[in-house]
Chain A
């Protein structure tokens, strides 16, 4: 058999599955909306860009500590439960003192970027909030950026 014939049969084969799945399925009542129950900050599952630590002084608090370098960017990952929640979107709420030197920004994807470098240590209290209207909230954690090379 020619390649084109084999390919055509493959396409028809896949279409036959798709068509039955589209036109021949029994009607079912859709699942009701599943709201986010809990949100938890987790270690970077893909690389070692950060690990959650617990400093001896604050053993019950979560810290994400990073050394500052120019253009530092990393992503914070969180686990949203249940996994099949209807809307799993979250936002990262950053709390910093008004007089804090240095500025930190976290997008809703968890992308952390430092907007200035005139600081020695930058602390930011962060929590994660669900966007499904139920406002499920993670426990607070601290993002600490060390910039000891800062000449000031």
Chain B
């Protein structure tokens, strides 16, 4: 893949390539800074507009919005004590106290540099780790692929918010939705109930936007209406001088490492990484006792880790076709919409495309520095925009976006229904990521299961004899499912003592 880097840079250095990188990162920073939008909604909103683009610019635009929004979340966290994205919640703890002391510019400076370093290191990890993992996964037949998808789904479910059972149930609903329409092997129609609109199945994008964006608007409407927040005094970002980094490099290094490691695990996400890194920073930093009072190490720990997750989460997504979280599930959906089959063969079949995406991701993280410096001043007044205007605009833009995919008004009705269903399920604590991931991975899961059953003469248990990789993946899947139950049982035992 490294040999494809010159061609990849040729794609990046076109006017379209550069525009996509700069505008996507800028848009991501602004959307990420708006409380209530978040990375997943931001990426889902932009997704439909990528359909008129080529494969590489489309994915790069989404990556730019993703990385930009993760950084953008820190602007709201520091200036109004409201994280723009859940990943930035830990940044509030020290960012806002610093801003209250009149050091908002410096707090954003720490956040900017930590985010850029975290993102750049994760881009390097992505460039080197993803092809190795993909090369290993090329040995996989249908049985190994089936158990790999099973492992990915169990990991995602076992760490998703809410209960394990609800996560699994959401995954089943997503897999079921993927079965509506033509059977992938014999072509017979299933669950269409003579409605020709369902012959091609549910539009993935309409469901994704419904369950993430529209349901978010409804969730906001069900909570107390928020008023525009008070903004602290802010005159622009001040980058920390080199001497100020003394004694903080260790925290930075550890946080980047934690972010990358957690990012690679399917289902964990940037918010988890930020809080684990923050806790580790408080434990090991020489300034640990000052955490929570406006300590720069707290900002570094949170921001370096949450941005380092972005590249890490892309490793299983690009190398194995297993999304790390809801955002990477949306990315996989984009690949599918652009006619690319996610999975281990993706890297081998599309080396230039993958190299362009990886190189683009590196450039996006570099762009965070200049764009962050400029746009944090622009984004600050946007934080005063009332929730009503943002939520209404989200629905209008989602309707436009969903209609564009196929020009079919039926997709809008699907989006509406998915939004209402997503709202009802989210209120009961159902995580939405397993639903979307189930819908993305469902067709591959079905095909590989049925192919595997042909290979083993219909014996499911024979999947694990003579297939050591499948056996290992199956055992890890069982452990991933049992572990949270064991933990829950042990904590109940401890409480009863």
Asked if A and B are interacting partners, one says no
A binding-site residues for B, Cβ under 8 Å: none
